[in-house]
Chain A
Amino acid sequence: MRIVEADIAIVGSGAGGGTVAARLAPLVARGKRVILFEQGPRFDYRRFNGHELEMSRMLYREGGGFMVADGTVSLAFVEGYGGSTVVYTGTSLEPPARIIERWNLPGLSPDELVRRARCYAQDNGVHALPAAQINENNRLFVAGCRELGWNATQFAVNTRGCLGSGLCNLGCPNNAKQGTHVVQLPRAESRGVEVITRARVMRLRERRLEVEVGLNPDGSPGEWEPGNYEVRARRVILAGGVVGSTTLLLRSGFDRTLPAVGRYFTCQPAHILVAEHPHPVQNALGHPKSFLWDERIESDHFFLETCMYPPFITAKNMTGFGPDHERFLRRFDHLQMILVLACDEALPNQRIVLDRRGNPQVRYRLDSRTIRALVGGTRAAAKIFFAAGALRVHAPSARPTCLETDARDRIETRIRTEYFLPGTVSVSAAHLMGGCRMGRSATDSVTNVDGQVHGYPWLHVADASLFPTALEANPYLTIMALADRVADAVLDKEHA
């Protein structure tokens, strides 16, 4: 085993790890060695060809088919340079004040987090798309909401030079999306932070990491020779994402002193809903997401966003099969799509554990509140579809799942919670949160408000696993704002 000395080791390169790496990069000029380990490879955006199976296999953990233990929800996340920022849509929502206030953490105010988030918004080219770049799929959403008297809100996205390929979730082929792989990581590397890809951190001991370095997917060596390393670092910052950071702490036995490790996992489970219009809908071209409707988020725990997915992901996420299912797919260029997201509760028994081989297993169940939220969201989406002029709507919790226009006045009775059968209804999630939640004590949390692990002054967490509850919004700007805070705490210690 080779031994490497470092001052700071960062594990993970997504929204959290990329932020921390960029913030700590100036330390290198002061003689400190900062190394970032990423277990996935570097991606070359010129290889992003938009073919969904090929790209899913290249980018997502288990091809996007990582399932929770009971098999009812699939979780999408990326292992690679930039983490899940490579495949998000760049939806840039500020930290919601009501959630940050609900967290009730000393010293963490909504104003401060928003201020930090705005710095990253500026850094990442966040802007609202002009009307000319809003595609018809998004316009139909707005029109449907308006017809119902509902207020659809436009949100900003983080692109520079977006050509409107609509392929955000399969890796932007034009490198327009400003994830950490485009902005923060190259900046950190240019200032001397060493980024080691294909480097899997297996275990964490007192200021020591056991790292296994492998070959690139094409068999070529990466930054370090393949093999086993012991990295000795004065400080360690975990930013491997909810599954990555939590798994590392569990594998290293931290749950013995911190019983909350892995617990309070949330993921904002989502439905992809489709509706057929009588005319072609421009859905595949243009940025897929620009509008949301969240007027019932506090009462009914769901919000809706525009979305667009390619054929297999759409087919998989619809419910059922046979002629009705196929008819929607055959009219792919006539489809409008809406994403329903449920705001799930953070509960101690919704958690990440290790299986016998030491691999992560997510023990998560769709509870009755989440199911009611998904059904409520489906009803609202169906109303928007019909109000926008759809001929038929696919509703997973209706029987049959296809609603024709004559059902538009009976949506409440046709779409019902008792028709929501876990295991039959497709549910997926990409907003993974919790597992190393911030809090006041080690009894029910893992870190303090600065992301420092209780009882371990050399160890910090800087990713979405810090969230004490679901954020009830797309999380990347909040992750960056929290990681920025963690970086400040680390810099304070370094300067001291």
Chain B
Amino acid sequence: MPSSGPLERREKWLRPLLEAMVPAARGLDRQALERVLRLSDAILLDRPAAIRHRAILAANLIRSLVRLRCGPVSRQKAGCVAARLARLENSRSRNIRLALWATRTLLMAGYYGDPQRQKAELGYRPQLRGWGGCREKTTP
């Protein structure tokens, strides 16, 4: 079995962050959450080592800043986590804002970038044949 990536290994505290950013993620079971983080990891693993390192640092920084206000990051503190993230988004420190942006982008990549979810939840599916493909689909 392939070893899990850096984000998947941080599933426990990334879940509350993901749920604050994408409220619909509250409905994800363990397997679905792993899939989200695996997709995010795949993006991260493609990037140069320095960028990967900075992305993990960014996520850890956000976790630490949330923990300062809310204590250990957990699903039971969803309201506190969401409020804290909203504050951090408008932080005076550009580095904190950037760390939040990077974490948010990675998590959203795993959630919204999943073709299965795009089709099932957003009604989006790439139509390779364009107009013709759409007509073919509706033709009995």
Contact = CB atoms under 8 A, between A and B. Distances in A.
Interface of A: 48-53, 57, 62-63, 65, 70-72, 133, 162-167, 170, 173-174, 284-286, 310-312, 314-316, 320-323, 325-326, 329-330, 332-333, 359, 421-424, 426
Nearest to A332: B122
A310 B124 contact: yes
A284 B21 contact: no
A321 B109 CA distance: 13
B105 interface: yes
B57 interface: no
A333 B123 contact: yes
B28 interface: no
B92 to A, nearest CB: 9
Contacts of B113: 52-53, 311-312
Contacts of B51: 62, 65
A322 B20 contact: yes
A54 to B, nearest CB: 8
A246 B43 CA distance: 27
A343 B47 CA distance: 29
Nearest to A163: B130
A322 B128 contact: no
Interface of B: 20-24, 39, 42-43, 46-48, 51, 82, 85-86, 89-90, 94-95, 97-98, 100-102, 104-105, 108-109, 111-115, 118, 121-124, 126-134
A311 B98 contact: no
Contacts of B86: 322
Contacts of B42: 53, 57
B115 to A, nearest CB: 5
A137 to B, nearest CB: 13
A312 B82 contact: no
B105 A163 contact: no
A320 B123 CA distance: 22
A89 to B, nearest CB: 14
B46 A62 contact: yes
B112 A285 contact: no
Contacts of B89: 320-321, 424
A285 B111 CA distance: 23
**What DSSP secondary structure best describes chain B's contact surface?**
helix
Nearest to A327: B23
B14 to A, nearest CB: 14
A161 B25 CA distance: 40
A354 to B, nearest CB: 14
A165 B109 contact: no
Contacts of A321: 20-22, 85, 89, 104, 108
B43 A53 contact: yes
A316 B130 contact: no
Contacts of A170: 126
Contact of B124 (A173, A322, A332): A332
A286 B108 contact: no
Given A316-B108, A326-B24, A423-B97, A310 B126 contact: yes
B21 A51 contact: no
Contacts of A332: 122-124
User: Which among B82, B112, B132, B133 has the highest number of chain A CB atoms within 10 Å?
Assistant: B112
A174 B128 CA distance: 8
Contacts of A173: 128
B109 A423 contact: no
A95 B21 CA distance: 43
A49 B122 contact: no
Contact of B127 (A285, A316, A323, A329): A285
13 contacts: A57-B46, A62-B48, A71-B98, A164-B131, A165-B128, A174-B129, A285-B127, A315-B108, A323-B23, A326-B24, A329-B122, A359-B48, A423-B95
A53 B20 contact: no
A333 B124 CA distance: 7
B121 A165 contact: no
